[in-house]
Amino acid sequence: MLTLAFLLAGLAPAPVTLNVPVYLGADLSEDIVTSALQETKRIFEPGRIALRFDLSPEHHSIRPLVTVVVLPRPAQFKVYGCSRNRHDHRLGHTQLGARRITLWSEQLVRAVDGNWDRTALPDVDDQVFARALGRVLAHELGHALLGLNGHRDRGLMRSDFSYRSLTAPGRRAFRLADEDLQAIRDTLLDAVAKNKNAALRLLDGA
Ligand SMILES: [Zn+2]
């Protein structure tokens, strides 16, 4: 059995890590943020993709592949359709060119409550909210890392999340397709190789 386990371990692809700077502009507790990011990480784990979130980002010489900003609400309550290089939702959006994801926490509170028309902010369970936040972040990361303007028919990259699936304890409805996980791995490995080359050029003084 042990030999088999080693053989299987040998066949598994090496993990690839992505550092993600997160700028928190919304008032969220540490517990909520930790749980939400854990939920996001779990969705990418089947592809051996390790997400490392940096909540105190400093300026780096290498431009991050993607940056996350969490705000309470959009500046304007205008929902755009999906268009070239721009992708919008009521809960958050991804600007593919700028490699920037914005999430709106108050919109998500309403989605978790299941009633979009309430003007006052509803009181929702912290853990359920965190779970939903993590899933929406994973969806937007999917757009950013796949360079995907459109959607898939099912799984994490489908266009609509129902209130029920967003809040359900199980994350079965938020799987990333194998080919999407592979495409993201390829993108990350490619970025690692490019960064290595850039670092070598700097060392050479070229
Ligand atoms: Zn989407």
Least confident segment among 10-19, 47-56, 155-164: 10-19
pTM: 0.86
SS3 102: strand
Q: If you measure from the C-alpha of residue 8 to the centroid of ligand 1, how many angstroms do you get, rounded to a whole number?
A: 34
Mean pLDDT computed over 176-204: 86
Assigned domain for 194 exists? no
Q: If you measure from the C-alpha of residue 112 to the centroid of ligand 1, how many angstroms do you get, rounded to a whole number?
A: 17
157: domain CATH number?
A: 3.40.390
Band (85; pLDDT cuts 50, 70, 90): very low
Assigned domain for 118 exists? yes
Task: Dig out the tokens for 110 from the structure.
Answer: 């309403």
To the nearest 10°, the Cα dihedral for 53, 55, 61, 62? 20
Q: Total domain count for the chain?
A: 1
Band (95; pLDDT cuts 50, 70, 90): very high
CA distance 73 to 90: 10
Assigned domain for 71 exists? yes
Assigned domain for 6 exists? no
Least Cα distance to 157 among 131, 136, 187 occurs for 136
Assigned domain for 156 exists? yes
Q: Is the pLDDT of residue 16 over 90?
A: yes
Assigned domain for 74 exists? yes
Mean pLDDT computed over 77-91: 55
Q: If you measure from the C-alpha of residue 198 to the centroid of ligand 1, how many angstroms do you get, rounded to a whole number?
A: 32
Assigned domain for 198 exists? no
Q: If you measure from the C-alpha of residue 164 to the centroid of ligand 1, how many angstroms do you get, rounded to a whole number?
A: 18
Q: If you measure from the C-alpha of residue 141 to the centroid of ligand 1, how many angstroms do you get, rounded to a whole number?
A: 10
Domain range holding 21?
16-188
